[in-house]
C-alpha cells in the first residue's frame, strides 16, 4: 500500500469526532481534515451491524470504535488491509479472524490517560463534596430561604489521610494514584503485575478491600476481572467505603452493588461505565440514588479526542509507509 491512494471508512464517528445531540448539532467536533488528506474517506456517525459489509466494500482501511468486526465481515471484505481501532481496547475485533484474513489491527494507546484519571477523581469528589447536589439546591432557592449562612444536605468527606485502593496499575491507575497522593491520601494497589513504586504498597485483594476508604477500579476486563467486585467483595469492604469504576462495567456485579448501596453496606459509588451501554431503564445502578453514573465520557475530553484522531492518522501513515505502529495483530 506504500504511496497508494486508499479508501478509508470510519464506521462510528460519534462520539470520537464529536457528539451528535438530539437536535442534530455536533458538540465538540474534532477536525477531520488530516484524516481526509490520507485517502478517499467515508465517515459515518454510526453503523448498524447489518450495514458494515455494504459500507466497507472496497475499503482498504476501516476505523471502528464500538462496531464489531468478526469472521463474517472479514470473509466478505477481501480488500481490507488495516483496522485502526478508535480506542485502546480492541475487544470489538475478532483478532484471530483478522490475522487469518491477512488484516493488520492497530489501536491507540494512552491517548486518554490524563482525561480518564481526571474524570475518576471528579467522580470521587462528587461523592465526597456533592457539588452537583448543593448547586441544584442553591439554584432552587434553598439558600435564599435558609436561616443560616451555610447548610449542607449530605455528609462532606475530607480525603486527607484516607486510603485509596487502586485495582489495576497501568498508566491510568498510576495517574489516579498521583492525584490521590496530591490530595493527601495513602495509596495501596492490587495488580497482576506488582511493581516497586515509591509510596505505593501492592497488596492482595483481601487486604485492599479491607483497608481502603476508596476503591478505584482501573483494570482491563478479562475472565479474571469480570465481577471482581461481587457480593463477597462488597461485604469485605469498609462500611463507609466509596467505590469508583473507571474500567469496564462488567468488572462490577451491578445487582450486588445496588443491593449493597440500598442496604448501606458501603456509603456510595460512582461509575462512568455500565455492563450494557447505552443502558436499559431497568439498569440496577440507575435505580440506585446512592450511585452516580456518567455516560462513558471519561475518555472524551476535546484534548483526548484530538490526540485520538491524530494518532489514528499516524497509524494510517505508518501502515502506508510499510512500517505499521501500535500493532495488536499482524498477518
pLDDT value, residue 51: 97
Please tell me what DSSP assigns to residue 144: H
In three-state secondary structure terms, 219 is coil
Residue of 226, 290, 296, 317 marked active site: 296
> Which stretches within 57-112 are classed as H helix?
71-76, 95-100
β-pairing, 104-106 with 327-329? antiparallel
Residue of 40, 71, 158, 277 with catalytic role: 277
CA dist list (Å): 39 to 2, 9, 27, 70, 210? 12, 10, 25, 24, 55
Kindly tell me the sign of the dihedral angle through the C-alpha atoms of 306, 66, 22, 245.
Answer: negative
- Cell 474524570 locates to 119
Contact yes or no for 44/10 (Cβ under 8 A): yes
Question: What's the alpha-carbon Rg for the chain, to the nearest Å?
Answer: 22
Q: What's the pLDDT at 268?
A: 96
* Residue 101 is among the residues annotated as catalytic for this protein: no
| Residue 231, pLDDT score | 97
Residue 139 appears among annotated catalytic residues: no
Helix and strand numbers, DSSP H then E, in the chain: 13, 15
Nearest to 306 by CA among 21, 106, 108, 62: 108
Interacting residues of 136 by C-beta distance below 8 A, sequence separation 6+: none
Q: Which residues contact 128 (CB under 8 A, 6 or more apart)?
A: 156, 157, 158, 159, 242
pLDDT at 125: 98
Of the residues 248, 254, 305, 307, only one is catalytic, namely 248
The reported pTM is 0.90
Distances in Å between the Cα of 10 and the Cα atoms of 184, 236, 275 are: 44, 45, 25
Contacts for 278 with CB less than 8 Å, ≥ 6 apart: 295
What pLDDT score was predicted for residue 217?
Answer: 98
- Structural contact between residues 59 and 83, judged by C-beta atoms closer than 8 angstroms: no
What structural domains does the chain harbor?
6-111+301-329 (3.40.50.720), 113-293 (3.40.50.720)
Could you state, in chain order, the average pLDDT of each consecutive group of 10 residues for the chain (331 residues)? 76 89 69 92 95 96 96 97 94 95 97 97 98 96 95 96 97 97 98 90 97 97 94 96 96 97 96 95 92 96 95 96 95 87
User: Could you say which DSSP state residue 88 is in?
Assistant: S
Active site residue 277: yes
C-alpha grid cell for residue 289? 440514588
What is the rounded CA–CA span in Å between residue 65 and residue 92? 8
Q: Are 314 and 306 in contact (CB under 8 A)?
A: no
Residue 8, pLDDT score:
97
**pLDDT given for residue 20 in this prediction:** 74
**Are 119 and 296 a contacting pair, CB within 8 Å?**
no
- Looking at residue 19, its pLDDT comes to 83
Omega before residue 278 within 30° of 0, cis: yes
Amino acid at each position: 500500500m506504500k504511496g497508494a491512494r486508499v479508501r478509508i471508512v470510519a464506521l462510528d464517528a460519534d462520539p470520537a469526532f464529536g457528539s451528535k445531540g438530539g437536535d442534530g448539532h455536533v458538540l465538540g467536533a474534532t477536525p477531520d481534515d488530516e484524516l481526509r488528506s490520507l485517502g478517499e474517506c467515508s465517515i459515518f456517525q454510526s453503523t448498524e451491524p447489518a450495514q458494515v459489509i455494504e459500507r466497507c466494500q472496497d475499503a482498504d482501511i476501516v476505523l471502528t470504535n464500538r462496531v464489531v468486526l468478526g469472521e463474517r465481515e472479514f470473509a466478505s471484505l477481501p480488500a481490507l488491509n488495516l483496522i485502526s481501532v478508535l480506542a485502546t481496547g480492541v475487544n470489538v475485533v475478532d483478532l484471530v479472524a483478522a490475522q487469518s484474513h491477512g488484516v493488520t489491527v492497530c489501536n491507540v494507546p494512552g491517548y486518554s490517560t490524563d482525561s480518564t484519571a481526571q474524570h475518576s477523581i471528579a467522580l470521587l469528589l462528587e461523592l465526597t463534596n456533592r457539588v452537583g447536589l448543593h448547586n441544584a439546591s442553591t439554584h432552587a432557592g434553598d439558600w435564599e430561604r435558609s436561616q443560616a449562612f451555610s447548610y449542607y444536605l449530605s455528609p462532606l468527606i475530607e480525603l486527607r489521610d484516607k486510603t485509596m485502593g487502586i485495582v489495576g496499575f497501568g498508566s491510568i491507575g498510576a495517574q489516579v494514584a498521583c492525584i490521590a497522593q496530591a490530595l493527601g491520601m495513602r495509596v495501596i494497589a492490587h495488580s497482576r503485575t506488582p511493581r516497586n513504586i515509591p509510596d505505593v504498597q501492592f497488596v492482595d485483594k483481601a487486604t485492599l478491600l479491607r483497608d481502603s476508604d476508596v476503591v478505584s477500579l482501573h483494570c482491563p476486563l478479562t475472565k479474571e476481572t469480570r465481577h471482581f467486585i461481587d457480593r463477597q467483595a462488597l461485604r469485605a469492604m469498609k462500611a463507609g467505603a466509596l467505590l469508583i469504576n473507571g474500567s469496564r462495567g462488567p468488572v462490577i456485579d451491578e445487582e450486588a452493588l445496588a443491593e449493597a448501596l440500598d442496604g448501606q453496606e458501603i456509603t456510595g459509588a460512582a461509575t462512568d461505565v455500565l455492563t450494557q451501554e447505552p443502558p436499559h431503564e431497568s439498569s440496577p445502578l440507575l435505580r440506585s440514588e446512592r450511585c452516580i453514573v456518567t455516560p462513558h465520557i471519561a475518555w472524551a475530553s476535546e484534548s483526548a479526542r484530538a490526540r485520538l484522531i491524530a494518532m489514528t492518522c499516524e497509524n494510517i501513515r505508518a501502515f502506508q509507509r510499510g512500517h505499521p505502529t501500535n500493532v495488536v495483530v499482524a498477518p
